[in-house]
Amino acid sequence: MLYYKNMETLKGKAASGGIAVAPLWHIGNDITVVASNDTPEGLKKQYFSLKSRVRAEFRRLSSLSDKEDSSMTGLFESYSIIMDDPVFEEAVLNRINRGYSIHQAILESGTELSRIFEKLSDEYMQARAADLLSVAEELLRELSGRGKIDKPDGEKGPDDDGFIIVAANLSPARLMRIDKKLIKGIVLSGGTVNDHTSILAGNMGIPCVVAAGDRIFDQKEGRIIIDGNEGEVYLEPDEETIGKFIEKKLRIEKLRSDARQRIKQDQIKSEKSPIAVMGNISDPGDTDSVLLNEADGIGLFRTEFIYLKGDDYPTEDEQFDNYSKVLKMMGDKKVIIRTCDIGYDKAARYMNLPFEQNPGMGIRGIRISLEHPEMFLTQLRALYRASVYGNLMIMFPMISSLWEIKEAKKYCEKARKSLENEGISCKKVPLGIMIETPSAAILSGEFAKECDFFSIGSNDLTQYTTGADRINEDIEKYYDPVHPAVLELIKITAENAHKNNIPVGICGELAADTSLSEFFIKAGIDELSVAPGKIIPVRLSLIS
């Protein structure tokens, strides 16, 4: 039996479950710099021609998707939208005007804008950074003549029976160009569990580990092991370890097959989960993943991305386009859209918000909207205009007092009437609030009389109940989502909601904790809203 003395275990993040044991294949950056001596006007014409070719490539990639990967159609549509986004395009054209090459203009514009999203604590918003970089990469690949290759580097992989891709990053478009029958696993030095590459890997059933660090490049050839359930990578594994993981892989595949059969049988029998399982999104491009994972609806559409991606307040039409697109895609399924929750860990520079010693307790959530009534009315008008395209519900964040609910409802009525006076169709939609503060949970009996539904934001509820800042890593051990006081406030909220005949859901990280399934059922929670990739595991935990 052969042993290697250099076996090393690296810890990353589990992005897609499963075990892979196969030869590695390093995929590097094969984009070459293309210089040009053309004038700025000539370069701009070349850029618009480049965009047309990339748009055609996105359409081609969409057509490659089969039924199990149909979510990519929506993804590549969203990539075209990002490519045409005025902020991104203006950044590129301004650099060309200042003497940059097309390559430099695209690279620096994509990098600069993506860093805005990367710095946010919300993983959904971080994933939008990856989307921006993917679009920039596709433009650069086409520019360098590498846009339509079927496999990275135009070569076969190291093993025709399959391989594990090792890379710094991997765009969904590039992944789609590789024969998926040959991909046994993916390990990336960067990335997030909520970016589209991670989601696509999950949809394709490919084990994936992200954020594993640069040491994944230490091994140059030979077999490696990745554990997509634990987020672990094994470099230079010995034969005994390889044997153990092959056995573990076979066991997992059997369990996964049994789980799929269970879901199929439940669907045939029309059996339903005792709790509706919804999806969280931050961008219209996430909707396809919600649908692919058979969610009962969207339990939380965070609208902050609309405010964060530009240099000024988003217009009513811009917001309407985003909201109506999601509602159309979801059809009759419920879509809960949260009004702007800028502030605290998410700030838009153009708002010129004052410095606060304790922003977590400052102007954020519904307070931002009430302090900026024109911004609030613009968003509400866009929402009500979009209401005719689906099953919309509007939710207000960070409510702590009864007067805030009443004031927000006044603005809703004002927005709705202004549209009616202009002859614009809209519906009267259900209005609800997020229970994120102890005061809201304690007074939920009174609040329920003014609301059509509740949604418990467990992240902030935990923060304010335990007095531990949820984005401060130094006090992570004090931030306890299953603290008895947090669970008690959830039970109180659910009881008061049902006394007043309104539904109650949970949309924070706690909703994805499958160890709490029995607690949620006993507490009377009606809905759980989680990241798209966690919808099926949560549903399975509820019907088991």
- In contact, 10 and 212? CB cutoff 8 Å: yes
Higher-scoring residue by pLDDT: 448, 149:
448
Tens digit of each residue's pLDDT (9 = 90 or more) over 5-30: 578 899 998 888 788 999 999 887 66
Are 436 and 462 spatial neighbours (Cβ–Cβ below 8 Å)? no
pTM value > 0.75: no
| Residue in 340, 412, 451, 507 annotated catalytic | 507
- Fold of the CATH domain 40-143: Enzyme I; Chain A, domain 2 (1.10.274)
Whole-angstrom Cα distance, residue 528 to residue 535? 9
Please enumerate in sequence order all residues whose Cβ is within 8 A of that of 284, keeping only pairs 6 or more positions apart, or say none. Answer: 78, 81, 322, 325, 326, 329
pLDDT at residue 321, rounded to an integer:
93
Q: Of residues 103, 196, 372, 426, which has the active-site annotation?
A: 196
Q: Is the pLDDT of residue 446 over 90?
A: yes
> pLDDT digit string (tens) for 411-420?
999 999 999 9
Domain ranges of the chain: 8-30+149-239, 40-143, 274-543
Answer whether residue 228 shows pLDDT above 50: yes
Convert 479-544 into a string of H (helix), E (strand) and C (coil): CCCCCHHHHHHHHHHHHHHHHCCCCEEECCHHHHCHHHHHHHHHHCCCEEEECHHHHHHHHHHHHC
Lowest-pLDDT choice from 159-163, 273-277, 363-367, 372-376: 159-163
pLDDT digit string, tens, across residues 355-394: 666 666 777 789 989 999 999 999 999 999 999 999 999 9
Reported as a single tens digit per residue, the pLDDT across 105-120 is: 999 999 888 887 777 6
Annotated catalytic residue 507 = yes
Residue 150: pLDDT band with limits 50, 70, 90? very low
Segment 473-520, tens digit of pLDDT: 677 778 888 999 999 999 999 999 999 999 999 998 899 888 999 999
> Does the structure show a pLDDT above 60 at 3?
no
**In 102-216, where do the E strands start and end?**
163-167, 183-188, 208-210
CA distance 305 to 132: 13
In whole angstroms, what separates CA 297 from the centre of its chain?
A: 15
The verdict on whether 451 is a catalytic residue reads no
In 399-471, beta strands by DSSP E: 431-435, 453-456
- Architecture of domain 274-543 in this structure: Alpha-Beta Barrel (3.20)
Name which CATH class applies to 8-30+149-239.
Answer: alpha beta
What is the per-residue pLDDT for 270? 40
Chain-wide mean pLDDT for the chain? 84
